[in-house]
Amino acid sequence: MHRLPYGEPMVGNWDSVGALAALALALGGLALGAWGFSRRDLQG
């Protein structure tokens, strides 16, 4: 069986660097989305 380069969370063998990268991407995406949404004129 070959090893995947992104870790194997389904079998419980977490790759800490990959998990931190995924968390950083998720938080960055939420922050970017919140910033973009706040720039919209939603009043009218």
Classify residue 13 by its DSSP letter.
B
Q: Are 22 and 28 in contact (CB under 8 A)?
A: no
pLDDT in tens, 9-34: 566 667 788 889 889 999 999 999 99
Whether the pLDDT of residue 36 is over 80: the answer is yes
Tokens linked to 24: 């950083």
pTM: 0.57
- Rounded Cα gap, residues 27 and 22, in angstroms: 9
pLDDT, position 15? 77
Q: Are 20 and 27 in contact (CB under 8 A)?
A: no
pLDDT, position 18? 81
